[in-house]
Amino acid sequence: MLRNTHKKVELQIPPRLGISSWVVMGFDLSLSRSGWAVAHVQEDGGRTHAEFIGAGSVKPEDTTLPVWLRGMMIGKGLLQVVNSPRVVSLLNDGAGLILVFEAFTPRNDYLSSVRRLVDSVFFTSNSPLIVPPLYLLSINASTLRSIMGLYQRGAGNKKENINKSLEFIDKGKFPEIDSDACDAVLLAMCGRYVVSILSGLPEEVPSRALTSLCDAKQEVKGRGRTSRIQTKGVLHRPEYWSKVTHQGLHTLCMKDASNPKKSLERIKLMV
């Protein structure tokens, strides 16, 4: 007789935040074309309800431009999505905001570059995104595929992703979901699951997603003096889930080599 040897995964559910309305934005960043998707998730009657209110993609017309310029253009284009009347209205009414990105690997120079450039557009002092509460969620590509049950490799990969995204977004309203916008939809769905968890309704979340986000397993990372213990779930990893609180005045220390004194000049900068 076969026995089920799978251990039950222990979960660590984050506390409720007491926010009943959220705007969730998913971004699939790329220097060639970046996808975006926006959903409004609201708690009502003991459950949450999600509605996609926008999706699409942006790309620089001139692909010969320098990486920094293309990245800045993408950031400014995506910021226009944030500034759309529906999103601004929801934020002004007190909705929380979750921005969901694909987590870049250290060896992916292009993805890391465009992400940092987009961040520099999104989170500076003159950005309209300085609207608390604002949270960032990063999802590894492999984690996203696991959560969504995606298995195709190679040429069939994008078709599978598009078909999966159409399980969540209305094809009648968004008939032109492309291979970039579809991944943004899937990333936004991860943020939508987070809203259910933060609303005290983890039972709404599919089991694979709930495990990835809330796994309580303690893991040892690194060796020797750099070793550390971390909780496996994405929502317990500050590199993947964090509240944006760094805008405001910061101090820059400047050294003038012509000055015989070792003192530093401190300059206050609004970031």
φ, ψ of residue 22 in degrees (nearest 5): -135, 145
Q: Could you report the per-residue pLDDT of 67-125, keeping only the tens digit for each?
A: 999 999 999 999 999 889 999 999 989 999 999 999 987 776 788 889 999 998 888 76
Q: Scanning the structure block, which residue is given the tokens 């984050």? A: 14
Neighbours of 268 (CB within 10 A): 8
Is the distance from CB of 186 to CB of 177 less than 8 angstroms? no
Q: Could you report the per-residue pLDDT of 165-221, keeping only the tens digit for each?
A: 999 999 999 999 988 999 999 999 999 999 999 999 999 999 999 999 999 998 877
Beta bridge partners of 41: 22, 50
For the chain, which domains are there? Answer: 21-246 (3.30.420.10)
Query: Which one-letter DSSP state was computed for residue 172?
Result: T
pTM: predicted TM-score of the whole model, two decimal places? 0.90
- CA dist 230 to 8, 159, 209, 233, 236, Å? 19, 36, 19, 9, 8
Report the SS3 class of residue 92: helix
